[in-house]
Amino acid sequence: MDTNTKRKQQLDARNAASVRDQTHPTIPGDEDRDTLLNYYRQMVLIRHFEEKASEMYTKARIGGYCHLNLGEEATVVGFCAGLEPTDYVYTNYREHGYAIGRGISSYAVMAELFGKETGCSHGRGGSMHLFDLGRRFMGGYAIVGGELPLATGAAFAVAYRGSREVVACQMGDGTTNTGVFHESLNFAKIYSLPIIYFIVNNQYGMGLRVEQGSAVSELYHKACAYNMPSERVNGNDVLAVRDAVRSAAKIAREQHEPSLIEAVSYRFGGHSVVDPARYREKEEVQSAREQDPIPAFASRLISAGLLHEHEAHEIDEQAQREVDAAVRFADESPEPSVEAFLQGLEEYVYAPTDASMKGA
**Range scoring the smallest mean pLDDT among 76-80, 243-247, 280-284:** 280-284
The DSSP letter of residue 174 is: G
Pairing outcome for strands 208-209 and 204-205: antiparallel
pLDDT of residue 113: 97
Pairing outcome for strands 259-264 and 208-209: unpaired
% of the chain residues with pLDDT over 70: 89
> Side chain identity at 272, as an amino acid letter?
S
Predicted confidence (pLDDT) per residue in 27-61, tens digit: 888 999 999 999 999 999 999 999 999 999 999 99
pLDDT of residue 357: 45
Exposure letters 172-207 (e unless 16+ CB within 10 A, then b): bbbbbbbebbeebbebbbeeebbbbbbbbbbbbbee
**CA dist., res. 249 & res. 82, Å (int):** 8
pLDDT of residue 337: 83
**CA dist., res. 35 & res. 20, Å (int):** 23
20 — pLDDT class (breaks 50, 70, 90): low
**CA dist., res. 296 & res. 312, Å (int):** 12
Query: What are the Cα distances from residue 37, in Å, to 43, 132, 263?
Result: 10, 25, 22
**CA dist., res. 255 & res. 247, Å (int):** 12
pLDDT of residue 158: 97
Phi and psi, residue 95, nearest 5°: -125, 5
pLDDT of residue 37: 98
**Range scoring the smallest mean pLDDT among 1-10, 106-115, 123-132, 335-344:** 1-10
**Contacts of residue 303, Cβ cutoff 8 Å, sequence gap at least 6:** 26, 27
The stretch 283-306 carries a mean pLDDT of 94
* Confidence check: pLDDT of 359 > 50: no
**CA dist., res. 360 & res. 350, Å (int):** 20
Predicted confidence (pLDDT) per residue in 66-105, tens digit: 999 999 999 999 999 999 999 999 999 999 999 999 999 9
Averaged confidence pLDDT in the chain: 91
DSSP labels for 346-360? HHSSSS---GGGTT-
**Cβ neighbours, 10 Å, residue 114:** 22
* Confidence check: pLDDT of 127 > 90: yes
The DSSP letter of residue 143 is: S
**Cβ neighbours, 10 Å, residue 161:** 9
Identify the residue with better confidence: 187 or 18: 187
Q: Taking a C-beta distance cutoff of 8 angstroms, is the pair 68, 50 a contact? A: yes
pLDDT of residue 138: 96
The stretch 249-260 carries a mean pLDDT of 97
360 — pLDDT class (breaks 50, 70, 90): very low
**CA dist., res. 297 & res. 24, Å (int):** 8
Domains of the chain: 31-275+284-339 (3.40.50.970)
Query: What are the Cα distances from residue 347, in Å, to 140, 344, 354?
Result: 19, 5, 12
Give first-to-last CA distance, the chain, whole Å.
Answer: 54
pLDDT of residue 12: 59
**Range scoring the smallest mean pLDDT among 13-22, 214-223, 239-248, 341-350:** 13-22
